[in-house]
Amino acid sequence: MCGIAGIVAPNAAQLLPAAERMVAALHHRGPDSSGIATFGHCLLGNTRLSIIDVEGGRQPIQSGLTNTALTFNGEIYGYRQIRNRYSNRYPFVTQTDSEVVLALYEDQGHHFLQHLPGMFAFAIWNNDKQELLLARDRFGEKPLYYAQPDAQTLLFASEIKALLVSGLIKPMLDTAQVACYLRHGYVLPNKSIYQNIGVVPPAHVLRYEKGIITLEKYWTPPAVNHHITEPEAEHLFTNLLKQAVEKQLVADVPVGTFLSGGLDSSTITAIAAQLHPHIKTFSFGFTGGVDSELPFARLVAQQYQTQHIELIDENIDFAGLMWQMQQIYDEPFADSSNIPTWLITKLASSHVKVALSGDGADELLGGYFYWSRYLFPELQVKAPEIPQPIKRFWLQDALRRLQQWYRQFAPPQPETYHANTPQSAAQRYYGFRNHFSDAELQQLGLPNDIEKFTDYAKYNTNTPHDALLMDIDGYLCGDILVKTDRASMANSLELRSPFLDVDLAEFCLSLPIQYKVNTATEKLILRNTFSEQLPPEITRRSKQGFGAPIQLWLQQPGVQELIQSYLMQKNSKIYSVLNFESVQPYIASQNQQSWSLLTLALWMETHNYFVK
């Protein structure tokens, strides 16, 4: 795992100090070594976290065939098989996984991306063609940003902070993305918070030649295979998941797993522990506000005799951590579980250099239908008819109790779904995680037409399958993978997600929805195939999620001081964009809306930007 950065410009050598600042800003992503390759019109930079070929794999890597160089971030799983295929055609000089990218490029040009496994973001400079390639993996596990300060210059980097320290661009705040952030809790995955900083989208390659940018998508999700039988599906799924874990355990440094106690991470741990006995496992527990999953994690750790290490949220300065998150994430990010994620990756990094997680299973196998089932009639149980007198009494009592609960606890609900409204499955699902409505965004002084960024034409089956694709395009790469990448790399820890192995993920996407979810249960195929390898308490429990107790956190004295200083003062920077009076009613709510606004206020205080 690494940080990458670079500049393409006339007389690029004159911009070497800027490139050095960019590389230095990514030191946390690769503290083991760094380097810059210099060409007449290009500078390629890299900071390396050594995982494979620890001593010999310095970057950037020069091709042994042409005047071409690579700076690479990520891991190519199964790279040894690729290397063996090219051993007689390409003069390898390292034992790293990253060098196979150069071998493939020399043979196939950028078309090799269609077959490249792993998680990655990389840049290839072809000095003979004077062409730069920037590419990103299918699901967006690894980040990649770029900017054009002028018509002849292109900058790129793993993180926005590296672009900013170049001194070559003036960041222009995008208020539409501020609105998207408040709506969803994160900036849209194919945008940045700045108008003049772009994102290489997942599954895309960017080509830059003679000042012209061309973006090309190299991968799309497979179609659903309605002909596969359930026994065939379960057999293939079992083998593919085991193979994915085995491939992702390959490293020349210590490897562990994150073990939340949920079904996904428990399954990954069970497979990994059978391949690596006494593997180290890491768990985080909450002491209040939400149920701790530590007892479930301990069951798995005990069954497989792992070296189990736990962290509990005691004596933690949440106000200080909220400030720290603004520097780590570069953009406003309202998923409060970024704090425990950062804490557990910090703990893990003192024991291992690589950790496996269960991320991706919910999006591929329908885990979120536990909460969103109400949006899809085909996933709901039809209630038996109740005699009218009983129904009348029960409804009156239930309605009274529900109204009492709603007034006290309920978060804002999406406006999108009405039973009699002719909406597609994708349109209904769009509102599932909305924290602010169109009307609320408008009242705050922000654009309220941000639904235009959703291309509903991509989600055209009008079934729950569309919800899975929307989560992969949005929540997975905009929230989950951003959270885990920034938190882990801030602690120089490589985090791997076996469920996102391309062979396994494509297979899961191709499965009919009835193999994933029914009217009562989610992730059916995972439960059916691995239940015998896990304690029954794990396979029978409902989904919990890694949610943080933000209501308790917002009541802490240090956090209350932040609210007083940055949400209740008219001269705070947030009010250069939002309406002061409109924000005040949200402060007392102590819910996700309060958290999102406070996070935005702190981000604005710690970043310099321009507003048109």
- Lowest mean pLDDT: which of 270-279, 370-379, 530-539? 370-379
Beta strands in 241-363 (DSSP E): 255-258, 280-285, 307-312, 354-356
- Residue range 211-235, pLDDT digits in tens: 999 999 999 999 999 999 999 999 9
Q: What is the pLDDT of residues 102-120, one digit of tens each?
A: 999 999 999 999 999 999 9
Query: What is the reported pLDDT for 387?
Result: 59
Mean pLDDT over 307-332 rounds to 94
Sheet of 198-199, strands arranged across: 33-38, 42-48, 2-8, 153-157, 145-150, 198-199
The residue whose two tokens read 């070497």 is 16
At 85 the pLDDT is: 93
Q: Rounded to the nearest 5 degrees, what angle is found at the Cα of 595, between the Cα atoms of 589 and 598? A: 105
Mean pLDDT of 395-420: 46
| Predicted pLDDT of residue 137 | 98
Q: Identify the pLDDT of residue 386.
A: 57
Enumerate residues 6+ apart whose C-beta is below 8 A from 480. 359, 360, 363
Task: Report the distance separating Cα 424 and Cα 189, nearest Å.
Answer: 23
Residue 383 has pLDDT above 80, yes or no: no
- What are the tens digits of pLDDT across the range 62-74? 998 999 999 999 9
Mean pLDDT over residues 134-154, rounded? Answer: 97
Residue 313 corresponds to which tokens in the numbers above? Answer: 């949220």
- Predicted pLDDT of residue 315: 84
Q: Is the Cβ–Cβ distance between 105 and 205 less than 8 Å?
A: no
User: Is residue 407 pLDDT above 50, yes or no?
Assistant: no
pLDDT value, residue 397: 55
pTM metric for this prediction: 0.92
pLDDT band at 209 (very low <50, low <70, confident <90, very high): very high
Residue 208 amino acid letter: Y
On average, the pLDDT of the chain sits at: 91
Ramachandran class of 383: left when φ > 0, alpha when ψ lies in -120 to 50, beta otherwise: beta
- Report the range of poorest mean pLDDT among 249-263, 281-295, 414-428, 484-498: 414-428
Q: DSSP letter at 544?
A: -
Contact 215, 144 (CB under 8 A): no
The model's pLDDT over 525-584, given as tens digits with 9 standing for 90+, comes to 999 999 999 999 998 877 766 667 889 999 999 999 999 999 999 999 999 999 999 999
Q: Band of the pLDDT at 56, cuts 50, 70, 90? A: confident
Indicate the pLDDT class of residue 453, thresholds 50, 70 and 90: confident
Q: Look at residues 273, 111, 244 and name the one whose alpha carbon lies nearest to residue 526.
A: 244
Please give the pLDDT value at position 409: 44
How large is the average pLDDT for residues 137-151?
Answer: 97
217 has which bridge partners?
A: 204
Of 371, 357, 370, which is closest to residue 264 (Cα–Cα)? 357
Q: Which domains does the chain have, with CATH numbers?
A: 2-217 (3.60.20.10), 230-368+466-540 (3.40.50.620), 377-458 (no CATH), 550-606 (no CATH)
Please tell me which residue, 540 or 282, carries the higher pLDDT value. Answer: 282
Round to whole Å and give the CA distance between 305 and 605: 47
Higher pLDDT, 77 or 419: 77
CA-to-CA distance for 46 and 125, rounded, in angstroms? 13
